[in-house]
């Protein structure tokens, strides 16, 4: 679980929200100008259709605008239609250090888009009659420490309605050693990588082979992707990949754009996200999904099961898009009056997106080689579908939109003061919202509901978390310090000694997890100054205000009155000194 997920920012999608980007020319990769490198280049792979030329050029312009606005090293885009056309658009650097251009034969990690391939492999087993959506998971994996009560079924895992936490180990440390859930299976929706880890084990149990072998044999090879796609992320293949980047400083919230460094490499054979492919190979998967969305299973499924695979089974309000529903490894979303199969994938070194408009017979995949930032190329793949559809309907493609980032509300404007006398002001400056403090002005970036990140070292440790009273902004917290709105200082009650003892920095050296700072405010605790911890009693805390939330926190290993360990959903984080 990365820092952005802890802050509850998984639904934020730079590139789709309203507001001007205002970031062109920002310094991105280690001081280089963001967006530098080779201009977009189009490679037609099959079914040459000259009439698509203007649409492909427009997609390339949008890619370049996104690289400039968000500080992206490179991006590759795969497009396909129902009639055999396939093309790739490459832009920028596959390796910024060596100045190697992005090409169609570089592997990229598709992240959680892998879930759709896992779901596809499960559906092949459903079609064969070996399992059903209603099969209890206890019957398939009896050795797993399942929660007591209502059985979790195969279908619950496929559509994220199991109630299991997002990223807990299957065999968690702490508590009673069993998995748990935030709600009764089927009664709500919450994204669960843990669920897809279990689906990967399900495929291994059913096939008697490793998950990478199953994915490669049951999906990638029949799709014609063999040799250009792999079912596991292995360091021995690293030379085949675009070189991924991630925030240069990883124990602080990362501004976008911001300084990047070479990302850590992590092997994975986990069903939550273990597939990598070239952009050329992804055109084959996009084309298959176009057919599946139209009820045609091709070489993988019969038509009835293809239609069922793409049919949503549950509302997915947590997806972050109005009206979103979830099928079996793919979201089904509405945009501009169209219905899309959609998914994104966020990894340590890559961010990807997929849109398929089955009715129009078009689809697109995009990946950029930077991870652990609040960005997915959703706007690129959505526009690519729109541009290709326009051509198929005999229209000119619409002009590519300007990159967008979440708007900063006018409600935040004004002066703020802490009890110590420290003060700042939030004001508009052209198209940007800036924080003015101690004679300097810095950019403010909206990173979540009532959360702003100031691009300034003095404000780097925590986002500004705004507090409202009667719908009106009453002030903002920066960690444990409260700044009252209106310029009048306000004294808040100090936390009790028991709560104050729990506060501090807790680290996990897994690159996915990193550091979490627990902040004590009054009679409450907050993760990274942004997410409340709700005391459930018995030493257990729930992360977030949502009563269905499944993430849990415990503190233990107490020395001199302070816990030396925090357990976040079955994973240990160790207390380490923080800078005062």
pLDDT digit string (tens) for 258-291? Answer: 999 999 999 999 999 999 999 999 999 999 999 9
- CATH number of the domain that residue 46 is part of: 3.40.710.10
Residues 434 and 341 in one domain: no
Q: What is the pLDDT of residues 76-88, one digit of tens each?
A: 999 999 999 999 9
Q: What is the DSSP letter of 505?
A: E
The CA distance from 356 to 284, in Å, is 12
Of 485, 514, 539, the domain-final residue: 485
Residues 427 and 474 in one domain: yes
Residues 228 and 260 in one domain: yes
Is 203 part of any domain? no
Of 485, 517, 546, the domain-final residue: 485
- pLDDT range class, residue 7, cuts 50, 70, 90: low
The domain in which residue 32 lies consists of: 3-117+213-392
Reported pTM: 0.94
Residues 438 and 540 in one domain: no
Contact 463, 470 (CB under 8 A): no
What's the chain's Rg over C-alpha atoms? 24
Note the residue count of the chain: 580
Q: Torsions phi, psi of 310, nearest 5?
A: -90, -5
Is 251 part of any domain? yes
Average pLDDT, whole number, for the chain? 93
Which two structure tokens, joined as six digits, stand for 56? 């492909």
Q: What is the reported pLDDT for 404?
A: 84
Q: What is the pLDDT of residues 425-473, one digit of tens each?
A: 999 988 889 999 999 999 999 998 999 999 998 999 999 999 999 999 9
Is 359 part of any domain? yes
Beta sheet of 276-278, edge-to-edge order: 107-109, 276-278, 229-230
Is 491 part of any domain? no
As beta bridge partners, residue 484 has 417, 475
Is 75 part of any domain? yes
Residues 477 and 520 in one domain: no
- CATH number of the domain that residue 421 is part of: 2.40.128.50
Q: What is the reported pLDDT for 63?
A: 98
Residues 462 and 376 in one domain: no
The CA distance from 456 to 255, in Å, is 10
Is 471 part of any domain? yes
Which two structure tokens, joined as six digits, stand for 235? 């360091």
Is 405 part of any domain? no
Is 532 part of any domain? yes
Residues 281 and 427 in one domain: no
Residues 447 and 384 in one domain: no
Q: Number of folded domains in the chain?
A: 3
Residues 254 and 327 in one domain: yes
Which two structure tokens, joined as six digits, stand for 432? 């940007």
Of 392, 427, 450, the domain-final residue: 392
Q: Which residue has the tokens 């994220």?
A: 160
Q: What is the pLDDT of residues 460-480, one digit of tens each?
A: 999 999 999 999 999 999 999
As beta bridge partners, residue 247 has 260
As beta bridge partners, residue 5 has none
Residues 419 and 277 in one domain: no
Residues 334 and 472 in one domain: no
Residues 6+ apart with CB under 8 A from 227: none
Largest Cα separation within the chain, whole Å, is 74
Q: Which residue has the higher pLDDT, 10 or 76?
A: 76
Taking residue 482's Cβ as centre, other Cβ atoms within 10 Å add up to 22
- pLDDT range class, residue 9, cuts 50, 70, 90: low
Which two structure tokens, joined as six digits, stand for 376? 């997915």
The CA distance from 460 to 362, in Å, is 42
Residues 99 and 221 in one domain: yes
């Amino acid at each position: 679980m990365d820092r952005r997920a802890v802050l509850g920012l998984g639904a934020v999608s730079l590139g789709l929200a309203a507001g001007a980007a205002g970031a062109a020319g920002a310094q991105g990769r280690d001081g280089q100008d963001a967006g530098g490198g080779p201009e977009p280049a189009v490679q037609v792979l099959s079914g040459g259709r000259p009439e698509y030329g203007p649409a492909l050029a427009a997609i390339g312009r949008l890619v370049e605008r996104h690289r400039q606005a968000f500080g992206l090293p490179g991006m590759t885009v795969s497009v396909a239609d129902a009639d055999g056309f396939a093309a790739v658009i490459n832009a920028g650097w596959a390796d910024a250090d060596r100045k190697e251009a992005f090409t169609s034969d570089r592997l990229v990690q598709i992240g959680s888009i892998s879930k759709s391939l896992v779901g596809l492999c499960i559906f092949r087993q459903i079609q064969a009659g070996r399992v059903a959506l209603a099969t209890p998971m206890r019957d398939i994996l009896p050795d797993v420490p399942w929660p007591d009560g209502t059985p979790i079924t195969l279908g619950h895992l496929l559509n994220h309605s199991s109630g299991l936490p997002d990223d807990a180990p299957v065999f968690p440390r702490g508590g009673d050693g069993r998995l748990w859930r935030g709600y009764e299976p089927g009664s709500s929706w919450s994204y669960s990588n843990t669920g897809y880890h279990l689906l990967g084990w399900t495929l291994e149990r059913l096939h008697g082979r490793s998950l990478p072998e199953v994915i490669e044999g049951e999906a990638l090879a029949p799709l014609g992707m063999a040799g250009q796609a792999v079912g596991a992320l292995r360091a021995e293949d690293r030379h085949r990949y675009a070189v991924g980047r991630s925030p240069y400083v990883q124990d602080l919230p990362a501004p976008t754009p911001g300084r990047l460094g070479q990302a850590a490499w992590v092997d994975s054979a986990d069903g939550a996200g273990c597939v990598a492919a070239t952009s050329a190979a992804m055109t084959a998967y996009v084309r298959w999904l176009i057919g599946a969305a139209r009820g045609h299973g091709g070489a993988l499924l019969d038509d009835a099961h293809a239609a069922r695979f793409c049919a949503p089974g549950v509302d997915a309000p947590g997806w972050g898009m109005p009206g979103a529903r979830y099928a079996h490894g793919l979201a089904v979303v509405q945009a501009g009056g169209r219905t899309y199969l959609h998914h994104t994938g966020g990894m340590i070194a890559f961010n990807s997106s997929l849109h398929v408009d089955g009715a129009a017979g078009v689809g697109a995949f995009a990946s950029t080689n930077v991870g652990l930032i609040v960005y997915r190329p959703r706007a690129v793949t959505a526009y690519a579908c729109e541009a290709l559809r326009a051509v198929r309907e005999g229209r000119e493609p619409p002009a590519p939109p300007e990159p967008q980032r979440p708007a900063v509300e006018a409600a935040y404007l004004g002066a703020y003061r802490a009890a110590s006398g420290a003060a700042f002001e939030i004001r508009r400056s052209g198209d940007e919202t800036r924080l003015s403090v101690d004679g300097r002005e810095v950019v403010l970036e909206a990173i979540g509901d009532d959360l702003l990140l100031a691009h300034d070292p003095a404000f780097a440790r925590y986002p500004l978390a705004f507090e409202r009273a009667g719908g009106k902004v009453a002030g903002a917290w920066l960690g444990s310090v409260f700044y009252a709105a209106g310029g009048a200082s306000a004294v808040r009650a100090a936390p009790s000694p028991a709560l104050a003892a729990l506060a501090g920095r807790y680290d996990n050296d897994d690159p996915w997890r990193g550091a979490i700072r627990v902040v004590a405010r009054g009679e409450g605790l907050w993760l990274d100054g942004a997410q409340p911890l709700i005391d459930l009693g018995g030493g257990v805390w729930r992360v977030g205000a949502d009563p269905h939330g499944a993430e849990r926190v415990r503190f233990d290993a107490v020395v001199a009155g302070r816990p030396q360990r925090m357990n976040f959903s079955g994973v240990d984080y160790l207390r380490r000194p923080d800078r005062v």
